[in-house]
């Protein structure tokens, strides 16, 4: 794994909210093509770190390079349009629209036509529409949403809505996808389906997951970083990392002397 | 706030069925224009119908912001006023033709929207509504105190209001010109809805954070919508001039924006032609009920509350529900 180039390099990242240090000189390296987990107890700073890696939150100090971009210096939409996808903790989709319309909205970065192309039904517009039909059919099939394409997003079961959130991200052709607690609130079947989906989409992509479900982390991740009290205390395989004495202490509390 | 929703998007069909549907709608609209334009004999009603088309244009411009990006543009009346003042000033002060004034008004409105939007569109919700209201107030006070806009009395007594060979002082011509312009703007907006820009607006309206995470430059698209809505409001202001025959600072009053908002909410924000339906109700119904202006506000405000309770998507929702009920009844008989 370490032989692969790093797609994410975060160096000495700090984040302060007033006098509170949420992150204390965190270093993270994520190898290209890996499935990487960011775990830790509540309040450990993993969500803050996650938002900084996606370019949503700016760090107080330190540098973050994703795909070679300094994400702290770029607006969020630019980061997104250059191959960095993300899903949100609370299911994010265009709930008033159908699944297919959701994908149409998500194809914004991949389309090029302007209003005149649309009015004149020019070659550019037709090419965009053809590409959308082809791409959306693929994404729907990968995410198991083909049969739902004409359904309103708000009418879908919870697990299917989470798959739709991933489908939206896939429409942007991301090289790296950040997933914020993707299996939270899912039942066993939905979690198993989602893990299978993650395995399908991780081929040729880097996936970064923030998750509390250790079974899902163990099933998916090549490597995890455990965060405790704003620091990254260990980076290893899920199996090894969870045995680390500091991690055990953080999750279970210190043993009585 | 009501939704553009899947139903509205279905009107944007990109396939052959969608094009056919749009074609049928355009033919029906053209037929309606001919029917009203040739059928009405009363000068008053023809003028009112023409004014309704102008007001509907204003309601459409308001709905670009309300139904398009989910903002309440209380200051939209400023652009309406710019559109009304520009030809009035051009005719009365410079002796230039009406059409030139209309174009000047649209250009000034677009430029003003770019400047104002650049500053205010980083705000959302109530903040944007209040700031935009403030802008229209400033504009109103400004024209009130400038000599060449006629001060408090405004401008009136225009020599010739015409578009090319079409003299707008003839009610039938006035109606045909405004209604055809309205139809063309509707066609333009229909294309916008089904374009990349329209999709970006709808995604922003539903969830700006998600839209941003999918690569949409939220500020830029909102600014584009604002800049698009301004010249349409200005065009509406210009086209209402032959009916009002006077332009005063009140043309920029927030009450005008509120009138258009009421019309939009009555017709429904989600449907492309919802604001047109609302405008027809808003301008025509009071003629039968002989309302005082203050009573009119009261009655329409109550009507809005009623509509929000029974059909939050606008009156067209009731027509749709009635259609669905009829279909159910006919199927159960079979």
At B131 the pLDDT is 92
Contact B214 A97 (CB under 8 A): no
- Closest alpha carbon to A225 in A81, A10, A20: A10
Helices (H), A62-187: 76-81, 99-106, 115-120, 123-142, 158-170
At B16 the pLDDT is 57
Contacts of B34 (CB under 8 A, 6+ apart): none
- The predicted complex's ipTM stands at 0.89
pLDDT one-digit tens code per residue, A9-21: 999 999 999 888 9
CA angle A245, A247, A251 (to 5 degrees): 120
How distant, in Å, are the alpha carbons of A187, B191, B241, B242, B246 from that of B157? 74, 39, 11, 11, 7
Contacts of B209 (CB under 8 A, 6+ apart): A88, A92
Buried b (16+ CB within 10 A) or exposed e, B214-235: bbbbbbebbbbbbbbbbbbbbb
User: 3-class DSSP state for residue A20?
Assistant: strand
Per cent of chain B over pLDDT 70 is 93
Contact A171 B214 (CB under 8 A): yes
Walk me through the domains of chain B, giving residue ranges and CATH numbers.
5-333 (1.10.3470)
Contact A101 B6 (CB under 8 A): yes
| Residue B13 in tokens | 């069909």
Mean of pLDDT values over B323-328: 77
Mean of pLDDT values over B133-155: 93
The minimal CB distance from A105 to the residues B3, B5, B203 is found for B203
**A105 inside 8 A of chain B by CB:** yes
Contacts of A170 in chain B (CB under 8 A): none
Residue ranges of chain B whose CB lies within 8 Å of a chain A CB:
3-6, 9, 14, 188, 191-192, 194-197, 199-200, 202-203, 206-207, 209-218
The answer to whether A125 and A73 are in contact (CB under 8 A) is: no
Contact A105 B214 (CB under 8 A): yes
Q: Which residues on adjacent β-strands are paired with residue A85?
A: A177
pLDDT greater at residue B317 or residue A78: A78
**A118 inside 8 A of chain B by CB:** yes
Residue B266's pLDDT band (cuts 50, 70, 90): confident
The pTM for the full model equals: 0.87
Query: If 0-12 CB within 10 Å is exposed, 13-18 middle and 19+ buried, where does residue B137 land?
Result: middle
Q: Which residues on adjacent β-strands are paired with residue A26?
A: A13
Rounded to a whole number, what is the distance in Å from the CA of A129 to chain B's nearest CA? 8
At A91 the pLDDT is 64
Q: Is the pLDDT of residue B69 over 50?
A: yes
Instruction: Give the DSSP letter string of A51-84.
Output: HHHHTSS--SEEEEEETTEEGGGS-HHHHHHTTE
At B146 the pLDDT is 92
Q: What are phi and psi of A85, to 5 degrees?
A: -100, 155
Torsion sign, CA atoms B197, B201, B206, B208: positive
Contact A118 B209 (CB under 8 A): no
Contact B202 A152 (CB under 8 A): no
Contacts of B200 in chain A (CB under 8 A): 105, 108
Highest mean pLDDT among A52-61, A111-120, B232-241: B232-241
At A253 the pLDDT is 67
At B14 the pLDDT is 46
- Closest alpha carbon to B160 in B92, B238, B86: B92
Pairwise CA distance, residues A169 & A84, whole Å: 9
**What does the domain layout of chain A look like in residue ranges?**
1-83+174-257, 98-172
Q: List the CATH code of the domain at A1-83+174-257.
A: 3.40.50.300
Mean of pLDDT values over B45-67: 96
């Amino acid at each position: 794994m370490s032989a692969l180039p790093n797609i994410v390099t975060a160096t000495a990242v700090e984040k302060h909210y007033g006098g509170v240090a949420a992150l204390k000189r965190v270093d993270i390296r994520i190898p290209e093509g890996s499935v990487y987990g960011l775990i830790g107890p509540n309040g450990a700073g993993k969500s803050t770190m996650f938002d900084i890696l996606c370019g949503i939150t700016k760090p107080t100090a330190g540098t973050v390079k994703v795909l070679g971009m300094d994400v702290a210096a770029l607006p969020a939409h630019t980061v997104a349009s250059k191959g960095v996808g993300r899903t949100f903790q609370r299911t994010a989709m265009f709930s008033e629209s159908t699944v297919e319309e959701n994908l149409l909205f998500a194809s914004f970065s991949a389309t090029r036509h302007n209003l005149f192309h649309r009015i004149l039904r020019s070659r550019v517009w037709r090419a965009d529409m053809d590409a959308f039909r082809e791409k959306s059919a693929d994404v729907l099939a990968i995410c198991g949403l083909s049969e739902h394409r004409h359904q309103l997003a708000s009418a879908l079961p919870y697990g299917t809505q989470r798959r739709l959130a991933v489908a939206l991200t896939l429409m942007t052709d991301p090289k790296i996808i950040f997933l914020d607690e993707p299996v939270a609130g899912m039942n066993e079947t939905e979690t198993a389906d989602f893990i299978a989906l993650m395995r399908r989409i991780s081929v040729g992509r880097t996936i970064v997951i923030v998750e509390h479900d250790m079974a899902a982390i163990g099933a998916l991740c090549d490597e995890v970083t455990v965060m405790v009290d704003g620091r990254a205390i260990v980076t290893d395989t899920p199996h090894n990392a969870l045995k680390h004495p500091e991690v055990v202490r953080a999750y279970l509390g210190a043993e009585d002397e | 706030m009501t939704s553009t929703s899947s139903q509205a998007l279905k009107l944007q069909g990109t396939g052959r069925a969608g094009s056919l549907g749009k074609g049928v709608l355009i033919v029906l609209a053209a037929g309606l224009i001919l029917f009203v334009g040739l059928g009405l004999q009363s000068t008053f009603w023809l003028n009112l119908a023409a004014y309704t088309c102008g007001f509907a244009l204003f309601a459409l411009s308001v709905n670009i912001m309300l139904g398009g990006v989910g903002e309440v543009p209380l200051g939209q009346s400023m652009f309406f006023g710019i559109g009304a003042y520009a030809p009035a000033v051009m005719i009365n002060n410079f002796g230039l033709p009406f059409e030139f004034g209309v174009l000047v008004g649209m250009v000034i409105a677009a430029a003003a929207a770019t400047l104002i939007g650049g500053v205010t569109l980083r705000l959302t919700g109530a903040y944007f509504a209040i700031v935009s209201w403030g802008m229209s107030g400033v504009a109103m006070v400004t024209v009130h105190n400038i000599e060449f806009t006629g001060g408090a009395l405004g401008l009136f007594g225009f020599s010739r209001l015409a578009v090319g060979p079409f003299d707008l002082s003839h009610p039938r011509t006035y109606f045909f010109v405004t209604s055809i312009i309205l139809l063309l703007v509707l066609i333009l907006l229909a294309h916008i809805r089904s374009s990349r820009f329209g999709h970006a607006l709808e995604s922003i309206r539903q969830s700006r954070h998600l839209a941003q995470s999918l690569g949409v430059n939220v500020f830029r698209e909102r600014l584009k919508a604002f800049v698009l809505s301004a010249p349409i409001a200005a065009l509406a202001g210009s086209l209402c001039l032959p009916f009002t025959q006077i332009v005063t600072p009140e043309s920029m009053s927030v009450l005008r924006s509120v009138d258009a908002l009421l019309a939009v909410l009555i017709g429904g924000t989600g449907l492309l032609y919802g604001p047109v339906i609302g405008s027809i109700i808003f301008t025509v119904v009071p003629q039968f009920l002989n309302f005082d202006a203050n009573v009119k506000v009261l009655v329409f405000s109550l009507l809005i509350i009623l509509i929000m309770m029974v059909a939050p998507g606008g009156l067209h929702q009731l027509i749709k529900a009635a259609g669905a009920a009829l279909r159910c009844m006919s199927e159960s008989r079979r």
